[in-house]
């Protein structure tokens, strides 16, 4: 018979998780390693504190999402009681700031919950020998001076003039080259650093727009759109910060549009509506982006006065073949026109899509057909050229209703 008694000198671990089944499977898998001995478990932070103090383990594994008490608060209490205890926080990726909060409270390790159990074991072994441990990807954080903003023009489909730009962040990585946001922003949601990036982009974008308004004065004035993460809009001070940034750049509050993803309304409808109402109070313009992609409850959408709606690529790419999509776009175009709300189709790549959008009554467009996001200097060339009639169109007549190949 194999000896199932704990190995002498094994690391004594207490596990606190809010989910019975997960807790049991974590314990089973951890104890498969002879170097680890699980001496106690608890389902809530309060009980966890009692168990930990009784058992005096070497390492505490604590889930960030615990009932009764915040994990950071429990971590602080335990550190005061047992200063030498090492703590491993496990966390799902849905709560911004969990990484920072846990490490600040005194965690020695932070492990993504979705990772394999081997990683948790590794973290326990590391912290038990006095080293910190952080799930891969969390350290991948740019310095602000490695970030650059690219701008993509938004075009009036009636006269092909640029009416505004969307600011899109990139990371000029010292070894890996230019990185696109999808490859680094999701990690930064956990660290909370995304909020710093949003504000940095806001500062660059507003200063850039002020310069362009000066160099390329036009009626109506050029505007700039910035993207805000949910972590940023959760900050109750954000509307005031934005108003101050706009003033700092010497712009009017109308010159800026803040893009909010429709999915925010789906995951936290009530909370998001309340947060967005604060933007309205400051006079900040909001655009709902990826409209229609997440099936957000229409009742919530009309409770927030959006100044703009962006129809996502998932719709544009169905054009011109899908009649259903054409009808939906016609409906959105006429509804937004009636409400004097700006409606922009994103992801316009082909002339056939452009024609279909114009036929459906869409007034504004954005996409590779006009220009990909580009450095500010390139955008200045576009502004000098003024008309962004698609480069592949041979019909030079911008007033014609149909662009011909």
Contacting residues toward ligand C2E, per CB under 6 A: 152, 168-169, 180-182, 185, 194, 197-198, 201, 227-229, 259, 289, 313, 347-349, 366-368, 373
d(CA 194, CA 151): 19
CB of 289 to Mg ion, least distance (A): 5
- Provide the 3-class DSSP secondary structure of residue 320: coil
The partner in contact with residue 228, picked from Mg ion, ligand C2E, none with C-beta cut-offs of 5 to 8 angstroms by kind, is ligand C2E
Identity of the residue, 77 or 228, whose beta carbon is nearer to ligand C2E in the bound complex:
228
Query: Is residue 308 classed as helix, strand or coil in its secondary structure?
Result: strand
Please say which residue, 347 or 390, places its beta carbon nearer to Mg ion. Answer: 347
To Mg ion, the closest distance from the beta carbon of 240 in angstroms equals 23
Element (H, E) at 122: helix 117-128
Backbone angles phi, psi at 387, to 5 degrees: -90, 130
User: Interface residues with Mg ion (CB under 5 A)?
Assistant: 227, 259, 289
Residue 371, binding choice from Mg ion, ligand C2E, none, Cβ under 5 to 8 Å by partner class: none
Closest CA to 258 of 185, 209, 307: 307
Task: Please give the Cα distance from 344 to 352 (Å, whole number).
Answer: 17
Q: Shortest gap between Cβ of 290 and Mg ion (angstroms)?
A: 8
Judged by DSSP in three states, 152 sits in strand
Nearest 5 degrees, angle CA 112-CA 130-CA 123? 20
User: 16 vs 199, which CB is nearer to ligand C2E?
Assistant: 199
Please, what is the minimum distance in Å from the beta carbon of residue 106 to Mg ion? 38
Provide, rounded to whole angstroms, the least separation between the CB of residue 197 and ligand C2E: 6
C-alpha R_g of the chain = 26
Q: Are 349 and 376 in contact (CB under 8 A)?
A: no
When CB distances are held under 5 to 8 angstroms depending on the partner's kind, the choice from Mg ion, ligand C2E, none that residue 368 binds is ligand C2E
Q: How far apart are CA 283 and CA 253, in angstroms?
A: 7
**Residue (124 or 231) nearer to ligand C2E, CB:** 231
- Taking the complex as a whole, the smallest distance from the CB of residue 73 to ligand C2E amounts, in Å, to 29
Contact of residue 325 among Mg ion, ligand C2E, none (CB under 5-8 Å per partner type): none
């Amino acid at each position: 018979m194999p000896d199932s008694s704990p190995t002498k000198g094994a690391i004594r671990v207490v596990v606190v998780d809010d989910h019975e089944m997960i807790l049991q499977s974590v314990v089973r898998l951890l104890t498969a390693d002879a170097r680890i001995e699980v001496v106690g478990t608890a389902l809530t932070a309060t009980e966890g504190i009692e168990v930990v103090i009784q058992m005096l383990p070497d390492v505490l594994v604590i889930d960030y999402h615990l009932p009764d008490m915040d994990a950071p608060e429990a971590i602080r209490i335990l550190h005061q009681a047992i200063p030498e205890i090492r703590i491993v926080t496990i966390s799902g990726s849905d709560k911004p700031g969990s990484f920072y909060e846990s490490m600040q409270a005194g965690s020695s390790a932070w492990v993504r919950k979705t990772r394999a159990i081997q990683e948790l074991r590794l973290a326990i072994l590391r912290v038990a020998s006095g080293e910190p441990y952080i799930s891969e990807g969390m350290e991948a954080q740019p310095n602000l001076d490695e970030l650059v903003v690219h701008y993509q023009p938004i075009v009036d489909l009636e006269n092909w003039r640029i009416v505004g730009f969307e600011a899109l962040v990139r990371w000029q990585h010292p070894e890996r080259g230019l990185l696109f946001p999808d490859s680094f922003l999701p990690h930064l949601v956990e660290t909370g650093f995304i909020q710093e990036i949003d504000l940095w982009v806001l500062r660059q974008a507003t200063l850039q727009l002020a310069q362009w308004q000066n160099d390329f004065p036009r009626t109506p004035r050029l505007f700039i759109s910035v993207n805000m993460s949910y972590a940023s809009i959760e900050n109750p001070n954000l509307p005031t910060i934005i108003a101050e940034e706009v003033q700092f750049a010497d712009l009017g509050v109308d010159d800026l549009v803040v893009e909010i993803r429709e999915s925010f309304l789906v995951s936290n409808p009530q909370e998001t509506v309340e947060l967005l109402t604060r933007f309205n109070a400051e006079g900040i313009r909001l655009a709902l982006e990826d409209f229609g992609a997440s099936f957000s409850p229409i009742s919530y959408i009309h409770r927030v006065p959006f100044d703009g709606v962006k129809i996502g690529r998932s719709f544009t790419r169905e054009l011109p073949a899908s009649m259903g999509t054409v009808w939906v776009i016609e409906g959105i175009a006429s509804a937004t026109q009636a409400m004097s709300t700006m409606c922009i189709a994103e992801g316009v790549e082909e002339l056939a899509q452009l024609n279909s959008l114009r036929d459906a009554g869409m007034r504004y467009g954005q996409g590779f057909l006009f220009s990909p996001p580009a450095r500010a200097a390139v955008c200045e060339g576009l502004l000098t050229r003024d008309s962004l009639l698609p480069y592949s169109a041979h019909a030079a007549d911008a007033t014609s209703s149909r662009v011909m190949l």
